[in-house]
Amino acid sequence: MVWTRAKKKWVRLWMHLAGVSPFGRMAIYLASLCAPPHKDAQSLAMMSPFGYIAPSATLHHSELKLGAHIFISDRVLLFQAYNGGAITLGDRVAILRDTILETGDGGRITVGDEAYIHPRCQINAYVTAIEIGARVLIAANTAFYTHNHGTKPGEPIISQPLASKGPIVVGDDAWIGSGVVVLGGVRIGPGAVVGAGSVVTRDIPAQSIAIGVPAKVVGTRGSPSEAHDNPPAGKDQAGGRPDQKTQ
């Protein structure tokens, strides 16, 4: 679709009226009729302090706290299960298509300014919190789970209470590669990198590079070994922002 001057005027007209009310969501729908697809639609988020929430996104949550110029893409779901705590998104957070953020049983989710979450991620905060720092990059198909089911013998697992080893905390400027699983009780330090397909079951220090199942530290950023290796997340699943040439 050609991004013509007339289409830009149409989009700006309706994005000026964007909001979470039924009318505000309708205004976004009308703007989206002439909007560019996928990551390019993020430009619409900067046209309104409210940001851009795709018409197909579902906000089933009573405790949303949304920062300025957020971008929530197609078919994203923000879901509040029983007794779920708040979901707080900082300024200019971007969440791409088919990602689910879910809180329940007292859990809550906080995402810092300019964090970027790629498609098909599952971020579930039950029992305790998930805290994602500013400018964190999370590549596609990544999962965060703070909780486990009980596994006592002689009782159906589905009937047993949820348990947690503690919150998940991801420091500012960390990079989580494609297909990573992060489990409860884990802290990933600022600036750390976790390679694609890893399962994080223990803390990762700041500025470290970790890979594997379970994830183990194999180096630090700027070390000689890093210069000779491919980026741990892989060229095509890097999880960078759309203005970075990662794909």
Residues written for the chain: 247
Peptide bond into 119 cis (omega under 30): no
Beta carbons within 10 angstroms of residue 213's beta carbon: 11
Number of C-beta neighbours around residue 157 at 10 A: 10
Spatial separation of the C-alpha atoms in residues 153 and 156, rounded to whole Å: 8
**How far does Cα 163 stand from its chain's mean position?**
23
For 39, how many CA atoms within 13 A lie in the half-sphere containing its CB?
Answer: 13
Give the residue ranges of DSSP H helices in 131-247: 224-228
Question: C-alpha angle 78/173/195, rounded to 5°?
Answer: 85
Query: Cα(first)–Cα(last) distance of the chain, in Å?
Result: 20
What's the CA gap between 11 and 56, in Å, rounded?
Answer: 17
Residues classed as catalytic = 149
Residue by residue, DSSP assigns 101-142 as EEEETT-EEEE-TT-EE-TT-EEEEESSEEEE-TT-EE-TT-
Token pair for 240: 């960078």
